[in-house]
Amino acid sequence: AVAGLCPCRAVFARRGGALRALCGSLRGLAAGPETHFGFQTVTEEERREKIYQVFESVAKKYDVMNDSMTLGIHRVWKDILVHKMNPSPGTLLLDVAGGTGDIAFRFINYVRSARERQLQRKLRHHQNLSWQEISESYQEDKSKSLGDSQVVVCDINKEMLKVGKQKAQHLGYSEGLSWVLGNAEELPFDDDMFDVYTIAFGIRNVTRIDLALQEAYRVLKPGGRFLCLEFSHVNNPLLSRLYDLYSFQVIPVLGEVIAGDWKSYQYLVESIRRFPPQEELKAMIEDAGFFKVDYQNLNSGIVAIHSGFKL
């Protein structure tokens, strides 16, 4: 549905003669089906490459830009995602397109406090034990501050992973955290491995969303949950106009001023407009085999969390 064959016209190349000729010959050689890169028409291979370059370019300023563009609200959205997930200690999470680790770190914080509460409850039940026995039980539990929970951060982009690892080191996250280079369309994991699969602000950049959803289904255990946090469609007409104005007038300027990169952020706002709206994405998730698929709008649909279960 998303990568439908479109008439070959790249919006940007309409007037520039040389550019048009180049795009024409590229299309002539086009080896794959056509898809979109923002508002341009490109082949699937070109799109993957361009998106790789976008994230390679923005990696170092990714977090700063997220805070500037959303005025810090993206943190709340991610908090809501992890709260909705409500992971218990012992959960195995796969965070795809997890790049700089925002979801992974929140997951770790969540299970750590859940674990602490668990231990506190255990302690209350142990009030009849001797001091010695209590301190011995501390030794056991200390080594499992996360209670066997683990998160695997998977991203296709080396630069984003690099930034994520540096952040983890800087913030002191090490236990229960792994970093894997991988493609959402073809995950390097075995079937039925994970309890939860998340993809936050990543699925928009995947070229074949259907494949990514199929892979998500494959690597989840039966009973596992799929969670997707992504920009979506705003229904409210007034808000929609303000949102468009802000997106197209302010965000590329922020990209230029803060990251020195107008084009990547122009791509970002265009890709949001190109992404399927809530109901369409829900249908795609159901097509991949998930049950009880539902979505929750945040901020009137600027962002939506889609959820599904593998039964």
Q: Give yes or no for a contact between 216 and 261, defined as CB atoms under 8 angstroms apart.
A: no
Residues 102-121 interacting with another protein (rule: CB under 8 A): none
* Dist CA 263 CA 245 (whole Å): 17
CB atoms within 10 A of CB 50: 16
Q: Phi/psi at 28 (nearest 5 deg)? A: -60, -40
| Least distance CB 230 / another protein (angstroms) | 13
Where are the extended beta strands (E) located within 106-203? 150-155, 177-181, 194-200
Report the distance separating Cα 135 and Cα 254, nearest Å.
54
Can residue 58 be called a binding residue for another protein (CB under 8 A)?
Answer: no
Task: Tell me if 237 contacts another protein by CB under 8 A.
Answer: no
16 binds another protein, rule: CB under 8 A: yes
- In the list 171, 245, 283, 311, the residue contacting another protein (rule: CB under 8 A) is 245
Tokens of 285: 């998730």
| Closest distance of CB 311 from another protein, Å | 29
Stretch that binds another protein, among 7-15, 43-51, 89-97, 300-308 (CB under 8 A): 7-15
The sign one gets for the Cα dihedral 35, 39, 42, 45 is negative
User: Which residue stretch of 3-11, 47-55, 96-104, 143-151 sits at the interface with another protein (rule: CB under 8 A)?
Assistant: 3-11
C-alpha–C-alpha distance, residues 167 and 66, integer Å? 15
What is the rounded distance in angstroms from the CA atom of residue 190 to the CA atom of residue 3? Answer: 27
**Residue from the set 87, 99, 202, 252 that interacts with another protein by CB under 8 A:** 252
Q: Is 253 in the site for another protein (CB under 8 A)?
A: yes
Rounded Cα distance between 272 and 178, Å, is: 29
Give me the least distance between CB of 204 and another protein, in Å please. 12
DSSP classification of residue 189: S
User: Is there binding between residue 219 and another protein (CB under 8 A)?
Assistant: no
What are φ and ψ of residue 239, in 5° steps? -60, -40
Q: Between residue 28 and residue 47, which ones bind another protein under the rule CB under 8 A?
A: 38-39, 41
Question: Minimal distance in Å, beta carbon 137 to another protein?
Answer: 53
Half-sphere exposure (CA, 13 Å, Cβ side) for 2? 28
Selected from 88, 250, 286, 309, the binder of another protein by CB under 8 A is 250
Is there binding between residue 257 and another protein (CB under 8 A)?
yes
Kindly tell me which of 21 and 311 has the beta carbon lying closer to another protein: 21
Q: Which residues bind another protein (CB under 8 A)?
A: 1-2, 4, 6-7, 9, 11-12, 14-16, 19, 38-39, 41, 233, 241, 244-245, 247-250, 252-254, 256-258, 260, 262-263, 266, 269-270, 273-277, 280
